[in-house]
Amino acid sequence: MREGKVGEEQEGSGLGGARRPASRTQSVVAMPRWRRVLLALLVAAAWFGPALLPAPPPPVPTTPPPSPRVIVAYSLESQVQMEQRVPVPCSPPPPPPRAAPAWQQTARHAHLYSAHYDVRLPTHHYVRIVAMLEGHDNGSFFCQVWFGGQPLVMEALEADMWVSSWDREDPASLYRPVLLSCPIPRERSVLGDWPSGVSVARKPCDVARSMLVIAPPPSHPPRDFAVCVKGMDFPREDISRRLVEWLELNRLLGADEFFMYVYGVHPNIKKVLDRYSRAGVVKVVPLKLPGKQPNSPAGRSRFLRTHLWQKRRNEVVPYNDCFYRNLYAHRYVLPLDVDEVIVPTSGRTWRDVLAGLEPRLLDGFASLSVRNAYFFDDFPSESASRFPAHMHVLRHTTRSANFSPADEAVKSFVSTRWALTVFNHYALRTVDPAVGRSVVLDTAVAQLNHYKASCSPLMVHDCHSNFLKYRVDDGVVLRFADELMARVDPVLRELGLLPR
């Protein structure tokens, strides 16, 4: 209304507020028709012409654009410079060292799990600490990095290993997974020293309660693939036979080593893990919940079933510990569940999959993601009668015809060269800001075979309409059948688990 009134005043007023003479309006009315038509066409051309005409060509740059390499180098250098901290001069006494990983509590509800030395940037090294904080903890932390008897003390950087938009509960009531980073100054990084451990305190010169031991680098050159399995909680369910089949199939595909984090498992599962641990194939890592979360077997299982969002936050800890354990031991880590297998659809092994990718994908992304397809237990399969009952994967070769969306339920080859933090599906953060977090591979290259009993309660509607309704035969794993059975049966016989 105000704009209309101003328009009326302007239309009816001249200089000094006097009314315009009526003769001007009359002269317009008396204008010949041909002039009025011409005037109307000119006005229309002025009003609509810019929208109808094609956009003008962009101006030719007078100077060439800057090189992408210059931009990338500058962004990484800027990040490193922003992360540097001035060491604090003090000499707190060394606390007793404790081997990692094991939960250690500092003051004010901070829980530390493990520490690792990151030398991926040649002149700027970091100590990385996998930790959890209770609720909204906005206080500062200080690292006391031990190079011999004298610590290097500086303020820690804090990065969430979780995305707040995922939360379905009040974050103040939850434990929050974080990565604490201790930036080592350039002049110390270039010396090539390897710290023995790190302590964390709220004030720089406080006497710390304990020291997280930092493992030395491996003596062998990096291998290709490590598989990381989050906390296993199967105290009553016996999946021992399926676990042997899963381990051997992943070994056929290219897995060099498995890191299995364990809350509590059935005795038969323990037999399987112990057997592969003795063979140097599996590293079993006992796992507990931090803080006031329950750790009695029954109470913990019940808690993990009923506190879904805290459970998912807890899962991030073993995945990141596994990632940093393998920073120099393997080129890729694969965060997988024991009902999932990344199966090449072009080529035979994971190495074949990566060998067929363009260098821009290998060098430009921290994780190479594979789309999910469900193989439900009650889908009828033509192969079921061809194989014995303990070969679950070989007996289930019917899947949902639709793959999950490209941004949901993927699993990934996570690069130890580029990732900074990971979660269940792909890298959350990258070391270099110019590197992408994830790229999804075409299903003609690889797919994620996901063997589930039924639809998850969280996806019932979507599951029925997209995944249960449409199905297709998919025997991509059958090419491994003979070799897989030749591996599985002797192990089950050795452990007394082969059905009679």
Q: Please state, in angstroms and rounded to a whole number, the distance separating the CA atoms of residues 258 and 248.
A: 11
pLDDT of the residue at 128: 98
SS (H, E, C) the chain: CHHHHHHHHHHHCCHHHCCCCHHHHHHHHCCCHHHHHHHHHHHHHHHHHHHHCCCCCCCCCCCCCCCHHHHHHHHHHHHHHHHCCCCCCCCCCCCCEECCCCCEEECCCEEEEEEEEECCCCCCCEEEEEEEEECCCCCCCEEEEEECCEEEEEECEEEECCCHHHCCCCHHHCEEEEEEEEECCHHHHCCCCCCCEEEEECCCCCCCCCEEEECCCCCCCCEEEEEEEEEEEECCCCCHHHHHHHHHHHHHHCCCEEEEEEEEECHHHHHHHHHHHHCCCEEEEECCCCCCCCCCHHHHHHHHHHCHHHHHHHHHHHHHHHHHHCCCCEEEEEECCCCEEEEECCCCCHHHHHHCCCHHHHHHECEEEECEEEEECCCCCCCHHHCCCCCHHHHCCEEECCCCCCCCCCEEEEECCCEEEECCCCEEEECCCCCECCEECCCCCEEEEEEECCCCHHHHHHHHHHHHCCEEECCHHHHHHHHHHHHHHHHHHHCCCCCC
pLDDT of the residue at 169: 66
pLDDT of the residue at 56: 37
Kindly state the average pLDDT of the residues 362-371.
97
Is pLDDT above 80 for 67?
no
Least confident of 33-37, 241-245, 396-400: 33-37
Is pLDDT above 70 for 27?
no
Kindly state the average pLDDT of the residues 109-124.
93
pLDDT of the residue at 466: 86
| Percent of the chain residues topping a pLDDT of 90 | 65
Kindly state the average pLDDT of the residues 400-417.
94
Kindly state the average pLDDT of the residues 25-53.
46
Model confidence band, residue 18 (pLDDT cutoffs 50, 70, 90) = very low
Is pLDDT above 70 for 307?
yes
Q: Please state, in angstroms and rounded to a whole number, the distance separating the CA atoms of residues 53 and 57.
A: 12
Least confident of 127-141, 314-328, 368-382: 127-141
pLDDT of the residue at 460: 64
* Tokens, residue 309: 């969002």
Least confident of 2-11, 33-42, 74-83, 456-465: 2-11
Q: Please state, in angstroms and rounded to a whole number, the distance separating the CA atoms of residues 345 and 364.
A: 23
pLDDT of the residue at 289: 96
Backbone angles phi, psi at 180, to 5 degrees: -95, 130
Does residue 85 or residue 184 have the better pLDDT? 184
Kindly state the average pLDDT of the residues 423-439.
94
Q: What is the CB-side half-sphere exposure of residue 374 using CA atoms within 13 A?
A: 25
Write down the mean pLDDT value for the chain: 85
pLDDT in tens, 183-193: 999 999 999 89
Is pLDDT above 90 for 92?
no
Kindly state the average pLDDT of the residues 327-339.
98
Kindly state the average pLDDT of the residues 470-476.
95
Least confident of 55-69, 166-180, 378-392: 55-69
* Tokens, residue 326: 């393998």
Kindly state the average pLDDT of the residues 389-410.
94
Does residue 174 or residue 23 have the better pLDDT? 174
In single-letter form, the type of residue at position 32 comes to P
Model confidence band, residue 91 (pLDDT cutoffs 50, 70, 90) = confident
Kindly state the average pLDDT of the residues 412-431.
96
pLDDT of the residue at 76: 78
pLDDT of the residue at 371: 97
Model confidence band, residue 14 (pLDDT cutoffs 50, 70, 90) = very low
Does residue 314 or residue 61 have the better pLDDT? 314
pLDDT of the residue at 496: 97
Does residue 42 or residue 97 have the better pLDDT? 97
Structural domains in the chain plus CATH codes: 83-213 (no CATH), 223-494 (3.90.550)
pLDDT in tens, 229-283: 999 999 999 999 999 999 999 999 999 999 999 999 999 999 999 999 999 999 9
Model confidence band, residue 107 (pLDDT cutoffs 50, 70, 90) = low
Kindly state the average pLDDT of the residues 212-240.
95
Kindly state the average pLDDT of the residues 463-473.
89
